[in-house]
Amino acid sequence: MRLDSSVLLFAAASALAAHVACGGSSATSTTPVPPTTVPTPPPTPTPDPGIPPQGSGCGEPYPPKLASINVKLHIKAPEYFTLDATPLVGPSSEYCRDIGYTDGRQYCPVRLEQDPERRACEAWVMGNAKDTGKPGPTWMREWETYCTTFAESGCEHNPDNPFSLFIQTGGWYQACRGTDICGEVEVDR
């Protein structure tokens, strides 16, 4: 059987095309294509930890670092007592003066009592409570029991104010930011 030369030429061309497509080389040399470079985007600036996030509600002057938490017995009612925790920042007599304290104090609350930014600034300096995950202090009794409900722990959070705690049982109470700064008070009930 004799093959037509056009069939042989077609078979040879197909084999060569398959060889080149599979990574083989052809008789002709190709110029390498340089890799495409993708521009690197500019870096995003790291937020300043000394400044509240934009839109947080806590504006200038920004509070200095948290120094302590003042905890006191605020109200004695027949059903329960109310404790209050106030974050104190400083030392900075300049900051305290700028927000309205004119007595020369070095440590002060983040804002005056009725200032509309007080809650937002307190939330920023305190962070979120370990027990609730919400802004404000972690409230504990006797350094070991989270304040959850009167039935479970003898104390419970004020649903309207995370810096306020209702108690029905006497003892030592703590309001903490994480594990680094705590304030405490002993209450007889």
Residue 95: CB atoms within 10 Å: 19
- Nearest-angstrom CA–CA distance, 25 and 21: 9
3-class SS shares of the chain: helix, strand, coil, % to 5: 20, 30, 50
Residue 121: name the closest of 148, 76, 86 by CA: 86
- pLDDT value of residue 63: 97
Q: How confident is the model at residue 90 (pLDDT cuts 50, 70, 90)?
A: very high
| Minimum mean pLDDT range among 22-36, 49-63, 85-99, 169-183 | 22-36
Q: How confident is the model at residue 8 (pLDDT cuts 50, 70, 90)?
A: very low
Rg (CA), the chain: 35
Please say whether the beta carbons of 69 and 105 come within 8 A: no
- pLDDT value of residue 77: 95
Highest averaged pLDDT of the listed ranges 14-18, 21-25, 125-129: 125-129
- Nearest-angstrom CA–CA distance, 17 and 13: 6
- Strand positions, DSSP E, 52-169: 66-76, 81-89, 108-109, 138-141, 145-146, 155-158, 161-167
Both tokens assigned to 133: 């995950």
DSSP state of 141: E
- pLDDT value of residue 1: 47
The DSSP element (H or E) to which 174 belongs, if any, is strand 171-177
Torsion sign (Cα): 90, 95, 101, 106: positive
Residue 11 identity (one-letter amino acid): A
